[in-house]
Structure 1
Amino acid sequence: MTLKAVIFDVDGTLVDSQADILAAMSGAFQAEGLEEPERAAVLGIVGLSLDVAIPILAPACDAPTCTRMVQGYKDAYAGLRRLQGADISSPLYPGARAALMSLKGQDEVLLGVATGKSRRGLDKLIEAHGLEGVFLTRQVADDHPSKPNPSMLFQAMRELGVAPQDTVMIGDTSFDRDMAHAAGVAFIAVTWGYHDVARLAGAEVFVETYAQLVLALETLWSTSHV
């Protein structure tokens, strides 16, 4: 039996956290008296680590200001999570739980996460949704360079003992695609996330629902594309 790895992005792929992302970014900019970026610009950097994303949104800010804004974003995001609960502020997309349980039930499939979130943020989210034990590897921004650097995927494959040709990355952004291809793994793009489909050109497969995702994985594996 050949082990296969399925690695998920989080924001925009597993959960819809855009309301809190937009609100937290707004708070970070307001605290520094800066003009807030447009919604599309904020969603366009989702997936990047904050120390990379903030300077893109505020290119004129100096290093100390950007550092404060990163912390301000984290504090605001954590406050919103405490206020509502992570399961409410970052709900799973329709069909996500069923798909995860279906894949987890396959002995040869190992699940993981590669996200721009912090470890604390990811752990809180997994706990809130009752997904403990589902992801056997959790790669976060604390331990790696920002996407699209392939470091997260290389570490995930090492931890799982799975080869690149048997690994698939699932995500909603061009950063996920570029990370996957830099690591030599296939990429399945979900269309319900934060990047337009046009930005995801080059994905091996596009899916519009989680039901399609499970079928897409089966097709990839059955045709030995990964």
Structure 2
Amino acid sequence: MKYKLIIFDWDGTLMDSIPKIVNCLKQAALRVGVPEPKTGDAAAVIGLSLEVAIATLFPKHKAMWPELVTGYQASYKSNTTLEPAMFKGTAELLMELRTQGMLLAVATGKSRRGLDRVLKKSGLSHYFITSRTADEASSKPAPDMLEQILSELGIAASSALMVGDSLLDMQMAKHAKVDAVAMSWGAADTFALSATNALTVCDDYDALRSTIFS
């Protein structure tokens, strides 16, 4: 097998959390009285650290950035109607990859606290040997998260594969000289992902399996 290490993004790749994140970004705007962002614009910043996402999404409201951050956090905690779930087959995929001897990691725009919370809630933490979050490395699309993971595990970039759902994920992988595969069910549309450095765009985990084991 070519790949020793598979590095996953979290939101929109393993967890169907894009609708909740977009909703909470819009709610944050309403809380502080700034114009609500368009759905596509909100989805496009998913993967950035929260502070960078807010700054990118609301460039004309710099004075309100701290309030927008806290507004998003409050909305995320209080919004239980859009509680995200893992995509169907996630646990089975991770188990299969580990059984085949592959190492698994996470590189996410979540905070450490946020990632630890969803890892515990999902019951999937034991599948991952390491992870990097937005408060431990530069925000995507910088290569820092991937480079830190590779350095920690002593694995060459050529032996790793990044699996993500956003343009930011693909750009991060390109900057780190790591192969990448895109999932079509997340933040970016298939057409946009197809124009990136992604080896392929997968519509489901079966397609991802075929790519990993080919």
TM-score norm. by structure 1 comes to 0.88
What RMSD in Å do the two structures reach over aligned CA positions? 1.7
Match of 1:216 in 2: 211
1:71 and 1:34 mapped to 2: Cα distance?
Answer: 14
Match of 1:59 in 2: 59
- Pick from 67, 89, 96 the counterpart of residue 90 of structure 2: 96
Matches within 5 A, 1:35-46: 35-46=35-46
Identity across matched positions, percent:
38
Provide the secondary structure at the position in 2 that maps to 1:176.
helix
CA deviation vs aligned residue, 1:65-104 (integer Å, no higher than 9, x gap): 1122112212221333xx47xxx81211122221111001
Matched, 1:105 2:99: yes
Contact 1:19/1:89 (CA < 8 Å) preserved in 2?
no
Match of 1:131 in 2: 124
Matched, 1:182 2:171: no
1:10 and 1:59 mapped to 2: Cα distance?
Answer: 26
Contact 1:173/1:199 (CA < 8 Å) preserved in 2?
no
Q: Which amino acid aligns with 1:46?
A: I
Match of 1:222 in 2: none
Contact 1:112/1:135 (CA < 8 Å) preserved in 2?
yes
Structure 1: stretches of 5+ with no match in the other structure: 220-226
Match of 2:152 in 1: 159
1:105 and 1:71 mapped to 2: Cα distance?
Answer: 41
Q: Which amino acid aligns with 1:91?
A: A
2:94 and 2:161 mapped to 1: Cα distance?
Answer: 14
CA deviation vs aligned residue, 1:161-188 (integer Å, no higher than 9, x gap): 2110000000011110110011011000
Provide the secondary structure at the position in 1 that maps to 2:163.
strand
Q: For residues 173 and 10 of structure 1, do their structure 2 counterparts lie closer, same or farther at Cα, with a shift above 3 Å needed?
A: same
Aligned length: 212
Match of 1:72 in 2: 71
Give the superposition deviation at 1:3.
Answer: 7.2
Structure 2: stretches of 5+ with no match in the other structure: none
Match of 1:199 in 2: 192
Give the superposition deviation at 1:137.
Answer: 1.0
Provide the secondary structure at the position in 2 that maps to 1:187.
strand
Give the superposition deviation at 1:195.
Answer: 0.2
Contact 2:37/2:57 (CA < 8 Å) preserved in 1?
yes
CA deviation vs aligned residue, 1:116-175 (integer Å, no higher than 9, x gap): 001111111111111121111111011111100000000111122211000000001111
TM-score norm. by structure 2 comes to 0.93
Contact 1:164/1:184 (CA < 8 Å) preserved in 2?
yes
Contact 2:12/2:165 (CA < 8 Å) preserved in 1?
yes
Q: For residues 123 and 67 of structure 1, do their structure 2 counterparts lie closer, same or farther at Cα, with a shift above 3 Å needed?
A: same
Runs ≥4 residues deviating over 6 A: none
